[in-house]
Amino acid sequence: MQDIQTILAELGLSKTEIAVYLAGLARPSIGVHELTTETRIKRPTVYHALETLMQKGLAAKHGTSRRLEFVMTKPRQFEHLIEREIGRLQEQKQKILSALPLLESQLSNEAAGSVRVSQFDGVDGVKAVVEEALYCKSRRWDILAPRKNFFSESEPNYRKYFLESREARGIVARSLWERGTAEHDRLLTKQEIAQRNPRYLPDALHGKFESLVILFDNKAAIITSLKTHSAILIESDEVHNLLSTMFDGLWSVSEPYKGRAA
């Protein structure tokens, strides 16, 4: 289980803010002198932390210039902070979505019809490609997955985020899998079967590839295994159609999922 300092840091508090907030939370009210003594943080730094905590709604002050004290607000305030942040991000999302047609209209005809290839390195780079796929216009994927892939080997928190985001976006896929993993051979729910439409690749192809491929819109995402931490995103009608045709061929000779629904 994570300690409280780690959790507060993930919520966006600095080390100084965490130290000051926790010291003040243990008392009904506290002065700057007591905070500097308990935290061993210099007075100007404590004042700055108190200012930022008040801006976040996590602290309040009362008293006079002679005896000014601070009260830390109840931990429930963090829920309100998160709700405000969600609201802010939703506003940003709407602004970006409204600007997309204008931005896309700036593309030249040559750029719109050309082949674009981008490489992304590192786990964060791969996750950026996954986000591109999650927000596809068609909300349809064709996915070719080896036994071990970026998703099956990712940390549980990210895997949970990915599955929940895909479901929330209403993405329906055709999935070609290798046999032999807990993920692929486990009992799927009816909803998972409907969303993922899994089939098993012919045995002759097992163990012959390590990269995961997602086809969506006019794009192809090729994601290497977790050990390599790399992804390539190809944007091209022609390339996408070629890979889709190859996928259709594999789909036609693959074995439908026959497991019972959980």
Whether the predicted model's global pTM rises above the 0.75 cut: no
The answer to whether residues 57 and 81 touch, using CB atoms and an 8 Å cutoff, is yes
Structural tokens at position 5: 């300092």
pLDDT value of position 171: 92
Identify the pLDDT of residue 73: 87
Q: Which residues contact 231 (CB under 8 A, 6 or more apart)?
A: 119, 120, 125, 126, 129, 221, 222, 223, 224
Looking at the predicted structure, is the pLDDT value of residue 236 above 50?
Answer: yes
Q: Is the pLDDT of residue 260 over 60?
A: no
**CATH 3.30.870.10 residue spans of the chain:** 115-256
The CATH homologous superfamily for domain 115-256 is: Endonuclease Chain A (3.30.870.10)
Whether 71 shows a pLDDT value over 50: the answer reads: yes
144: buried, middle or exposed (CB in 10 Å: 19+, 13-18, 0-12)? buried
* Residue 185: both structure tokens together: 């051979």
Give the tens place of pLDDT for each residue, 29-61: 999 999 999 999 999 999 999 999 998 888 998
DSSP state, 170?
A: T
Give 127-160 pLDDT, tens digit per residue.
899 999 999 999 999 999 988 888 877 888 888 8
Longest dimension (CA), the chain: 82
For residue 44, give the amino acid letter: P
Among residues 137, 143, 132, 213, which one has the least CA distance to residue 170? 137
CATH class of 4-75: mainly alpha
> What is the structure's pLDDT at 80?
80
State the span(s) of the chain assigned CATH 1.10.10.10.
Answer: 4-75
For residues 190, 192, 197 and 200, what is the CA-based torsion angle, rounded to 10 degrees?
A: -100
